[in-house]
Structures are given as C-alpha cells and as structure tokens.
Structure 1
Amino acid sequence: MDTCNASVSPAAEGRLAERVVAAGLAGIILPFVQFGWLLLVAALSDDSRCGHFGCVSQLADAWTVGNWAAVVLAWPLLHLLRVRPAWFVAVLAPFFLVPIRELTDFPVSVVAGLFAYPLATLVSAPRLSWRRRSLVLALFLLLCTFLALSSG
C-alpha cells in the first residue's frame, strides 16, 4: 500500500467532510448573528442624538463591532458544531474572510463565511498532508484572483 497516498483513513475523511460541512454552517450562522447585533443596536439607539449622519455612524460602528464579535463567537460556535480544532479554525478563518469580503460585492458576508470557515477547517485538519493543504491554499488564491479580475 502506498503510504504517501493513504495519509488519511476513510473514517477520518468522513469526519473531515462532516467538519467541513459544519464549518460552512458556522460561516452561514455568524453573519446573521452580526446582523442581529446591528438590529439590536438600531433598536436601542437614541434617536434624539441622531444628527445629520449620527445614526449612520452609530450603525457603521456597530457593524465593525459586529465583525469582531463574529470572530470572537466563532470559536464557541465551531466547538458546539464539533469542528476540531475549533480554536485554530476560528483564528485562521479571518485570513480567508477578509479577502473574500473585500473582493465580493455582497454587503452581507454569508458568502465569505460559507467559503472561509470550510477552507480554514481544511487547512487546519490534523491529519491532512501538506500537499492537500497546499492545494487548498492554491485554490483559495485562484478564487481570490478570479474575484479580483472579475470585479474590475
């Protein structure tokens, strides 16, 4: 048996596939948490303090705080969804999230999370060979190049 190609057992590949799907689910859930935070801030904001652009700047600040809150809440959510190693995926995901967010035209980052968390899961998989990790990173760079060229 070729040990170079058999670096991951079929059972481990099944668990990896489950973790990738769960990470994609987390990537879909987190923007809605961020949007919920934005709605909460909008509902609790003091309308009397809204000047010409006052409320807009409050919502922009809330959106920025929501971005950081989503990053912080990623670890418990990933852990709850049995994505392992959850902390490492949560740390790596912003490195995938930011370029995808910047290169897509979608205002809500569901698309970015849908790709970023599974990619971070694949790159951080404990028993995955470096060849496969490099392939994931190369595909990500190809995706970023395509998005950059297609957006103008």
Structure 2
Amino acid sequence: MSDHSPRFSRTSLPRVLAAGLVGSSLPLMAFVAAFVADKTGLMHLICPTGGLECLAPLALIAIGGGSAAAWPLLWLVRVRPAWAVALLGFVFNLILQSLVAQVIPSGLDSPMLFVNSALSLALAALIIRPRSRQPIST
C-alpha cells in the first residue's frame, strides 16, 4: 500500500515551526556551553594552543552537541521522528554554516547562526514526516 496523503499539508506547519524554534535556540545553548567551558578550563583541554586551528574542532563540537541537544528538545515539542530530524538538521546546518562562512566573512558571529540553525531543523522537519499508523486489515 502506498501513502497518497499530501507531503506538505497544513498539519505539517506546526511541526516545521516547532523544529525551527528548537533550531533557533541551539546557537544560544552553544554560546552558553562555550562560556561555561571557558570559565571552567575545559576549553584549554580541548584546544591548549588557543589558535585558529581550534576553530574547526570547536565548531564541530558545537554543531554536534547542538544536534544531540536537539533530539530531546524536538521530542518534547512533539516533532516526530525526533532523531531523524535532528540528524538531517545536523547535516543541513553543517552545509549552511560552511556556505555562510565562505560567503559572509563575519557570518559565523552574526544573527545568521540563529537563522541557519532554525532553517536547518525546519527544513529537516519538512522533509521527514512522521510515520502514519496504518490500520491492520484482515
């Protein structure tokens, strides 16, 4: 049996908006985590030199950690399947942040972080829809 329901419907709008809201909160959580890591000395353990070579590992940790935090947050706001939306959102976020870093020199320290994170998870929620429950036919 195939599912002939429309891929994008009005019922998907709350899911997309909720995922975008979760996505827009991720950079703020990353900033708070970086502040705590700096004050506790954890940042020095991750990158003892403090040079520019530390940017890529710290960015990957921030995006990966944000995606790990997105999974339970998406689950709490009833975006299903939360794990798939978080995983695809991570990929989209990585691509968008890389593109912005190449096009806009100050893009990684601007409001574009919040916009890109929101767009990444919203797009993932739009693409991945929850599995519909099919009645068992006899």
With normalisation by structure 1, the TM-score equals: 0.64
User: Which of 122, 129, 133 is matched with 1:125 structurally?
Assistant: 129
Report the residue type matching 2:125 in the other structure.
Answer: T
Candidates 19, 22, 41, aligned match of 1:23: 19
Give the number of aligned pairs. Answer: 117
Q: Which one of 87, 90, 111 corresponds to residue 91 of structure 1?
A: 87
Q: Does 1:100 align with 2:101?
A: no
Letter in 1 for 2:23: G
- Equivalent-residue separation in structure 1 for 2:32 and 2:54 (angstroms): 12
User: Structure 1: which amino acid aligns with 2:90?
Assistant: P
83-92 or 57-66, larger mean C-alpha shift: 57-66
Match runs of 1:1-150 below 5 Å: 7-8=5-6, 13-45=9-41, 54-56=49-51, 60=55, 61-104=57-100, 105=104, 106-108=107-109, 109-126=113-130
Cα drift, residue 44 of structure 1? 1.4
**Deviations for 1:118-148, whole angstroms, at most 9, x for unmatched residues?**
1100110137xxxxxxxxxxxxxxxxxxxxx
Identity, in percent, stands at 30
Please identify which structure carries the higher helix content.
Answer: 1
Aligned partners of 1:26 and 1:74 also within 8 Å: yes
Structure 1 unaligned residues grouped into runs of 5+: 128-152
Give 5+ residue unaligned stretches, structure 2. 132-138
Following TM superposition, the consecutive aligned residue runs of length 4 or more in structure 1 with deviations greater than 4 angstroms are 56-59
Using the size of structure 2 for normalisation, the TM-score is: 0.70
State the alpha-carbon separation in 1 of the partners of residues 32 and 51 from structure 2: 17
Task: Write the deviation string for residues 66-88 of structure 1: whole angstroms up to 9, x where unpaired.
Answer: 22211111110111111111111
* CA-atom RMSD in angstroms: 3.1
2:136 alignment counterpart: none
